[in-house]
Structure 1
Amino acid sequence: MITVDEHRARVLAAAPPLPAIAQLISDSTGLVLAEDVVNRWPVPLFDNSGMDGYAVHRADATVGATLRVVADVPAGSPEDPAMAAGEAVRIMTGAPVPTAADAVVPLEHTDLGTAISEAAPETITITVEPKEHAHIRRTGEDTPAGSVAVAAGTVLGPWQLSAIASAGHETILVHRKPRVAIISTGSELIDPSGTPERGQIPESNSVLLAAAVTQAGAEVAAVTRVPDDEHALRSVLTGLDVDAAILTGGASVGAFDIVKAVLDGTGSIEFTTVAMQPGKPQGFGLTEFGVPAFCLPGNPVSVAVSFEMFVRPALRQMAGLHDIDRPRVIRTAAASWRRKPGRVQILPVVFDDETVRPASRGGSGSHLVTSLADATALALIPADVDHVSEGDRVTVMVLS
């Protein structure tokens, strides 16, 4: 039996980030940036006005001074009008400030107020004296040319994409989302809406995994249910064109454990036992095509726990994310529970700002799927602890 950390290390070593691809920023929402994006230009590109108003010589703009308006500069104008003493230029927000000006007086700080005519007025009278460099956004004030606008490893949302566009880029290098196949095995499985006969159960693992894969930042490429038939499983595996495959069921030592029968020894895939409860039987490795294959137990809680401990970090790493782990906090046990020592217990729990308690009264059995609906975290109990007492400090992996 190997430790959780040993199995995790093997998984992560075989699941590096996917190769970067060039993509338009308009198609990159939710992807991870593969290299730093550098500002091609200073931001702002030029000295520009932060207000609608009048560009002035500050020394002339005393309260009560009347200035002659000699030009009009709208946003987007290339003009750089000259300004003599006692003169002003009407200017709109974002327009380049005339080289001769050293302040902008807002419309509301003149006798004309905020009323704007199509043509610039002949004169204005100052009612509020501007401060030095008032309302002028200086070149490079936000960031200089050559500086990093958005760093590699950043998940690209609206603000980050806007910054990239402002930096002068339309195409960037990103890691695409891993495409994942989900394969549930077991002749006992039926559709959730079906009526189970004796020995049958609704299939829920693929529903759990499809949602979990999506939340992890990957893409579900295929969802398949396979009976306990080696030929059927080989047929499904042969047709896969994905970056990773997750199989549930058939990973232990049962007489009908077809996943192990088909994949053990294929490529680098190995089946082992991990010192964790639930989720002890695990299989992992690269197929003969170099695709990471996660072979998980079949019980739903085992699937949920195995995904969080091994699959989710690997998928996030493949997507190029630097932050691959859930946050962990310490809480006080609000109840006592016993467990068998020798394996790390990974228990679905409910927690608040101070305490943590099991999500199910039935303990951490791998079949207690209903407890998952209430769980907001997983408690991580070390292998050498055989009893958790009320008031003990517990490490909690936060799921939401």
Structure 2
Amino acid sequence: MALLPIAEAQARLLALAGRMPVERVPLAEAVGRWVAEPIAARRTQPESDLSAMDGYAIRFADLPGPWRVIGESAAGNGFDGTVAAGEAVRIFTGAPLPAGADSVLVQEEANRDGDALHLAGEGPRHVGRNTRRRGLDFFQNDVLIAPGERLTPARIALAAIAGHADIAVRRKVRVAIAATGDELVPPGEPVGPAQLPESNRMMLAAQFADLPVDIVDLGILPDDLVTLTNAFATVDADLLVTSGGASVGDHDLVRPALEAAGATIDFWRIALRPGKPMMAGRRGDMVVLGLPGNPVSVFVTALLFAKPMVAHLAGAANPFPTPRLVLLGEDLPANGPRTDYIRAVTLDGRVHPAAIQDSSMLRTLARSTCLIIREPHAAAANAFELVEILDIA
């Protein structure tokens, strides 16, 4: 069976399911979610001309003064009158610019004696200096945030100042996580000679932590076809992610259990190192992802497939991680027929691959800050060449 290229596998994975239903949530609960409907401004910001500095509101045509101070304008408490020729109003940052005034003389360039005001510097260099004009940020009905954009803290603030108290987003994704294998025991419990502490569920949950998910922990499932089938047939989730049992050995029962539970496998085995024995399909409306068992393979396949699938379901316009170019710190050999994701660290503007790349070595992964991407059949690369990386820390 030919191995499926990564880009094709990613496209086929996203095609397995559409977006989650839309719901409205308060702004305080919307951070990290993806916008489902355009967010348009319900007001203009600022709604009037404002001062950008502490000083005096004046008419530019009256320079170089002098002026008579006729009042004060503060944020939330503006001056109701009109500034006429030779007049000025004491003004503070964020306060509305009085009618008639068109510029602000900063207080460092002003000399005031009672109500008499004189120029003590260069003064504003042009009309409108040291002011923020109405609509400088946006006007009412401007579309500020498009569907598919993520609600970062700055976008939350933008939505709030635009007049929104709640936002239309996609429902959180229910993600079921299961580890499979008779050799696995929960972390912290005694480990026998043929056993191993289970780590993949914890790692997957941590990888999903910054996404809008509700985790369903199916625990550690034994290498038993009936037990696996029952678990997969009864789970209520939008996405089922398993680790282990996805290869072709006698004890690799995830695929037959999924099929016995009513799942259809769309693809299996991809041109990826680490992580070749990965499968994807559907059981009803639920997407299923069978990841390998080795921890590094789980991490990489989750980064490239599981996390993007969650982001896609949650409404992301661009769910996949974005690589960047960095100078290589040392030579790399030519690559084989699979796309290789090499654990590495960035130091002094260059990237350095780890010496050993075994897919069971969590210590190397934990020390890594990025993955070097090596395309299939890539030629040998020399130090100081540009290579693509994915940041992971």
User: Which interval holds the TM-score relative to the shorter structure?
Assistant: 0.7 to 0.9
The whole-number CA distance in structure 2 between the counterparts of 1:213 and 1:349 is: 22
Structure 1 residues 276 and 127, CA, compared in 2 at 3 Å: closer, same or farther? closer
1:127 matched to 2:119: yes
Q: Which residue of 1 is the match for residue 133 of structure 2?
A: 138
Q: Which residue of 1 is the match for residue 215 of structure 2?
A: 221
Match 1:48 to one of 47, 50, 61:
50
Q: Which residue of 1 is the match for residue 38 of structure 2?
A: 36
Unaligned runs of 5+ in 2: none
The whole-number CA distance in structure 1 between the counterparts of 2:56 and 2:99 is: 13
Please report the RMSD computed on the Cα atoms of aligned residues, expressed in angstroms.
3.1
- Give the TM-score, by structure 2 length: 0.84
Instruction: Report the more deviating stretch, 1-10 or 270-279.
Output: 270-279
**C-alpha contact (below 8 Å) 1:300/1:367 kept by paired residues:** yes
Instruction: Report the more deviating stretch, 244-253 or 269-278.
Output: 269-278
Letter in 1 for 2:290: C
The whole-number CA distance in structure 2 between the counterparts of 1:157 and 1:25 is: 11
Give % identity.
Answer: 32
* Shift in Å, 1:110: 4.1
* Shift in Å, 1:45: 0.5
The whole-number CA distance in structure 2 between the counterparts of 1:395 and 1:97 is: 51
Q: Which residue of 2 is the match for residue 147 of structure 1?
A: 142
Deviations 1:194-216 (A, max 9, x none): 2221211111111221112224x
* Shift in Å, 1:338: 8.0
* Shift in Å, 1:287: 1.3
Letter in 2 for 1:268: T
Q: Which residue of 2 is the match for residue 118 of structure 1?
A: none
Letter in 1 for 2:368: A
Tell me the secondary structure at the aligned position of residue 193 of structure 2.
coil
Tell me the secondary structure at the aligned position of residue 289 of structure 2.
strand
Match 1:372 to one of 356, 359, 365:
365
Tell me the secondary structure at the aligned position of residue 96 of structure 1.
coil
* Shift in Å, 1:190: 0.7
**C-alpha contact (below 8 Å) 1:251/1:271 kept by paired residues:** no
Deviations 1:122-162 (A, max 9, x none): x2222337433343322122333332323333322332222
Q: Which residue of 2 is the match for residue 267 of structure 1?
A: 263
Deviations 1:326-373 (A, max 9, x none): 31436547356687x44444433345434543x243xx4433343322
Structure 1 residues 66 and 83, CA, compared in 2 at 3 Å: closer, same or farther? closer
Q: Which residue of 2 is the match for residue 305 of structure 1?
A: 300
**C-alpha contact (below 8 Å) 1:329/1:398 kept by paired residues:** no
* Shift in Å, 1:48: 2.3
Q: Which residue of 2 is the match for residue 105 of structure 1?
A: 105
Q: Which residue of 2 is the match for residue 26 of structure 1?
A: 28
The whole-number CA distance in structure 1 between the counterparts of 2:69 and 2:343 is: 75
* Shift in Å, 1:239: 4.8
* Shift in Å, 1:103: 3.0
1:286 matched to 2:293: no
Letter in 2 for 1:376: T
Deviations 1:247-291 (A, max 9, x none): 011222222323222102623334622233332222211112x11
Letter in 2 for 1:28: A
1:327 matched to 2:323: yes
The whole-number CA distance in structure 1 between the counterparts of 2:277 and 2:380 is: 25
* Shift in Å, 1:292: 1.0
Q: Which residue of 1 is the match for residue 93 of structure 2?
A: 93
Tell me the secondary structure at the aligned position of residue 68 of structure 2.
strand
* Higher CA-based Rg: 1
* Shift in Å, 1:390: 6.0
**C-alpha contact (below 8 Å) 2:68/2:87 kept by paired residues:** yes
**C-alpha contact (below 8 Å) 1:333/1:393 kept by paired residues:** no
* Shift in Å, 1:102: 2.8
Q: Which residue of 2 is the match for residue 249 of structure 1?
A: 244
The whole-number CA distance in structure 2 between the counterparts of 1:78 and 1:245 is: 58
The whole-number CA distance in structure 1 between the counterparts of 2:154 and 2:133 is: 22
1:171 matched to 2:166: yes
The whole-number CA distance in structure 2 between the counterparts of 1:93 and 1:301 is: 54
Structure 1 residues 130 and 389, CA, compared in 2 at 3 Å: closer, same or farther? closer
Structure 1 residues 374 and 125, CA, compared in 2 at 3 Å: closer, same or farther? closer
* Shift in Å, 1:101: 2.4
Q: Which residue of 2 is the match for residue 180 of structure 1?
A: 175
The whole-number CA distance in structure 2 between the counterparts of 1:283 and 1:349 is: 26
**C-alpha contact (below 8 Å) 1:264/1:271 kept by paired residues:** no
Alignment: residue pair count? 383
The whole-number CA distance in structure 2 between the counterparts of 1:390 and 1:101 is: 64
Structure 1 residues 148 and 237, CA, compared in 2 at 3 Å: closer, same or farther? same
* Shift in Å, 1:188: 0.8
The whole-number CA distance in structure 2 between the counterparts of 1:8 and 1:303 is: 16
**C-alpha contact (below 8 Å) 2:72/2:78 kept by paired residues:** no
